[in-house]
């Protein structure tokens, strides 16, 4: 098999990288001549009895992981799916999700990596945009009946012709459009002999240039954009990630967020397959359980996004647990607070589904690990920092928009030519919309994340990124989490309002006290919040992001009420 072969199962409206680009990426090691199915088969041959996956419900060895995914992949094809077909996933972080993902990868079916939390708006749009022909749901993902939901949605999604129910009976998917096949995932596996499955899939193997998955953007709009990712590209980036973060064959990676996410797969699932390590899956984040898993399974690496960092920092009984096996905890922020609390190496990271991943290495200095997001894990990924809204590079040390180009960077969103037309610079760099700044630490050029363009606050013509302020506020001992938004102001146009989640047992700091704390950390005074609001939990969008539009509307309404004397 060679990465220079064309895709065996080309998909219309996918932006495929040019062959010349792929050849360059192969030469640099950014793309590998491998597919996901090959990784698992080779691991099963080499270490059949080694534990591949651990969860609340038990353990799965490499031999059984390979066999179950083989049988499911062949069964899906036998039931009428074809290589290149798309499969909607509404699955949580459970063993069946990993089995179903590898089954699709082996059968050249393309998972559409959605979430159990998605409802009508997202799923109808994703189903029809992707042209999905099958819908895979988890029967026990929560109180909401995903199987019945998928059945109802087939009336709006005419291409869907099959519903597969994991961890539940097929009968729960009642009310589907006539002609839609409904089956239980366990029954499909059970009914397919392993030898027959291997024979069927041997003739259907995808190429490294074939689409591996349809990942989704994490934007604030109601419906995510679709990002095609490819076998050889994804495996190359996962290998680079593993090397940068110090993973090896002793890897035990704990993941407590949606496995279907890009982060779950590229930072946990694929490094586990490449290194033939072990992956520990937590269906729900709970601080005590997280620490118990770390201790019991001798976890070496874990990834923190959003609530994990807050819960870990708030957990008071860390000393009760032996966390000495942890070599690195990777977080999108707060690495310094996490390391001080857990007494294990922590590093800030940066990544977007459209491409680049950045991190420092475990052995890098605390300054690099805590105060920056490191540098691209793939040596041939390029970054360029330009003035927002332009293509002019900013001076060294100045903040600008991060633009990226390289082996792991998307060539364009699926079936969105108008969006793609404005998503790239004339030199082919993808515009991320993220604000960053380059600096030199320990003799190496590294990147500091400064916020997002859409989160800028314009205070009398002085613009600054809200997320950089949020990160500093969250260092205050009384603050569990913070979000900074613009509030309308008659004189300056906008001022900053900080919405705060306060730690249990702590008092809300005064505006003056918080200002003194922030300036002691080096924050310029014009960036200080000029109003504080306390909230129990942040509103979220339908795609699970903190809803800053709602927070802006809430503070604007409060100001209007105050001005009108209604409070």
- Three-state SS sequence of 114-136: CCCCCCHHHHHHHHHHHCCCEEE
Q: Above pLDDT 90, what percent of the chain?
A: 80
Q: Is the pLDDT score of 491 beyond 80?
A: no
CB 378 within 8 A of CB 407: yes
**Mean pLDDT of the region 215-242:** 86
Q: Is the pLDDT score of 222 beyond 60?
A: no
Closest to 17 (Cα-Cα) out of 546, 406, 496: 406
Q: How many C-alpha atoms does 32 have within 13 Å on its Cβ side?
A: 16
**Mean pLDDT of the region 463-473:** 85
Candidate from 133-147, 305-319, 488-502 with smallest mean pLDDT: 305-319
pLDDT digits (tens, 9 = 90+) for 528-552: 999 999 999 999 887 678 898 899 9
**Mean pLDDT of the region 263-284:** 96
Rounded-to-integer distance, Cα 398 and Cα 436, Å: 8
Q: Is the pLDDT score of 220 beyond 50?
A: no
Band of residue 223 on the pLDDT scale cut at 50, 70, 90: low
Candidate from 272-281, 287-296, 536-545, 547-556 with smallest mean pLDDT: 536-545
CB 87 within 8 A of CB 136: yes
Q: Torsions phi, psi of 379, nearest 5?
A: -60, -25
DSSP 8-state code for residue 269: I
Q: Above pLDDT 70, what percent of the chain?
A: 97
Rounded-to-integer distance, Cα 341 and Cα 489, Å: 39
Sign of CA dihedral 468, 474, 477, 478: positive
pTM of the shown model: 0.86
Q: Torsions phi, psi of 565, nearest 5?
A: 75, 30
Phi-psi category of 13—alpha, beta or left, where left has phi over 0 and alpha has psi -120 to 50? left
pLDDT digits (tens, 9 = 90+) for 370-416: 999 999 999 999 999 999 889 999 998 999 999 999 999 999 999 99
Which tokens belong to 532? 């504080």
CB atoms within 10 A of CB 487: 21
Rounded-to-integer distance, Cα 197 and Cα 195, Å: 5
Rounded-to-integer distance, Cα 381 and Cα 436, Å: 16
Band of residue 567 on the pLDDT scale cut at 50, 70, 90: low
Dmax of the chain from CA atoms? 76
pLDDT of the residue at 288: 95
Q: Which domains does the chain have, with CATH numbers?
A: 41-206 (3.40.50.980), 460-563 (3.30.300.30)
**Mean pLDDT of the region 328-357:** 92
C-alpha pair distances (Å), 305 with each of 255, 335, 563: 10, 11, 38
Sign of CA dihedral 365, 367, 370, 376: negative
Closest to 448 (Cα-Cα) out of 292, 335, 354: 335
pLDDT of the residue at 221: 45
pLDDT digits (tens, 9 = 90+) for 410-466: 999 999 999 999 999 999 999 999 899 999 999 999 999 987 777 778 787 567 888
Burial of 8 (0-12, 13-18, 19+ CB in 10 A): middle
């Amino acid at each position: 098999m060679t990465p220079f072969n064309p895709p065996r199962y080309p998909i219309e409206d996918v932006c495929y990288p040019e062959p010349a680009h792929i050849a360059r990426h192969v030469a640099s090691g950014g793309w590998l001549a491998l597919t996901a199915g090959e990784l698992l088969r080779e691991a099963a041959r080499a270490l059949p009895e080694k534990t591949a996956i651990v969860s609340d419900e038990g353990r799965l060895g490499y031999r059984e992981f390979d066999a179950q995914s083989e049988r499911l992949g062949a069964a899906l094809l036998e039931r009428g799916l074809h290589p290149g077909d798309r499969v909607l996933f509404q699955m949580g972080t459970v063993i069946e999700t990993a089995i179903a993902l590898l089954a699709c990868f082996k059968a050249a079916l393309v998972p559409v990596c959605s979430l159990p939390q998605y409802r009508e708006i997202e799923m109808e749009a994703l189903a029809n945009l992707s042209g999905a022909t099958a819908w895979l749901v988890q029967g026990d993902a929560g109180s909401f009946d995903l199987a019945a939901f998928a059945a109802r949605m087939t009336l709006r999604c005419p291409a869907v012709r099959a519903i597969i129910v994991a961890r539940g009976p097929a009968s729960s998917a009642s009310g589907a459009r006539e002609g839609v096949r409904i089956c239980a995932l366990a029954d499909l596996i059970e009914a397919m002999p392993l030898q027959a499955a291997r024979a069927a899939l041997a003739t259907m193997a995808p190429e490294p240039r074939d689409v591996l998955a349809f990942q989704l953007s994490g934007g604030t709009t109601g419906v995510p954009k679709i990002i095609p990712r490819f076998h050889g590209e994804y495996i190359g980036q996962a290998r680079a990630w593993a090397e940068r973060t110090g993973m090896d064959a002793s890897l035990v990676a704990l993941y407590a967020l949606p496995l279907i996410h890009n982060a779950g797969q590229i930072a946990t699932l694929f490094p586990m397959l490449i290194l033939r390590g072990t992956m520990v899956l937590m269906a729900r984040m709970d601080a005590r359980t997280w620490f118990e898993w770390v201790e019991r399974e001798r976890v070496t690496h874990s990834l923190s996004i959003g609530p994990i960092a807050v819960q870990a920092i708030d957990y008071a009984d860390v000393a009760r647990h032996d966390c000495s096996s942890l070599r690195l905890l990777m977080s999108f922020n707060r690495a310094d607070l996490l390391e001080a609390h857990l007494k294990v190496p922590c590093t800030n990271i940066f990544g977007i589904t459209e491409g680049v991943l950045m991190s420092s290495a475990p052995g890098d200095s605390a300054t690099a690990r805590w105060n920056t997001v490191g540098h691209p894990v793939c040596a041939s990924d390029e970054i360029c920092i330009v003035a927002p809204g332009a293509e002019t590079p900013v001076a060294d040390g100045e903040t600008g928009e991060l633009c990226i180009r390289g082996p792991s960077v998307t060539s364009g969103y699926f079936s969105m030519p108008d969006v793609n037309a404005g998503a790239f610079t004339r030199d082919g760099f993808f515009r991320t919309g993220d604000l960053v700044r380059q600096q030199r630490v320990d003799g190496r050029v590294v990147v500091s994340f400064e916020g997002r363009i859409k989160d800028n606050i314009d205070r009398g013509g002085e613009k600054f990124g809200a997320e950089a302020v949020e990160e500093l506020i969250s260092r205050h001992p009384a603050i569990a989490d913070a979000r900074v938004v613009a509030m309308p102001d008659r004189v300056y146009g906008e001022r900053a309002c900080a919405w705060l989640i306060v730690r249990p047992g702590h008092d809300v700091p005064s505006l003056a006290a918080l200002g003194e704390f922030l300036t002691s950390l080096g924050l310029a005074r014009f960036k200080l919040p000029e109003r504080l609001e306390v909230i129990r939990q942040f509103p979220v969008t339908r795609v699970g992001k903190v809803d800053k539009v709602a927070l802006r509307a809430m503070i604007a309404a409060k100001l209007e009420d105050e001005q009108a004397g209604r409070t």
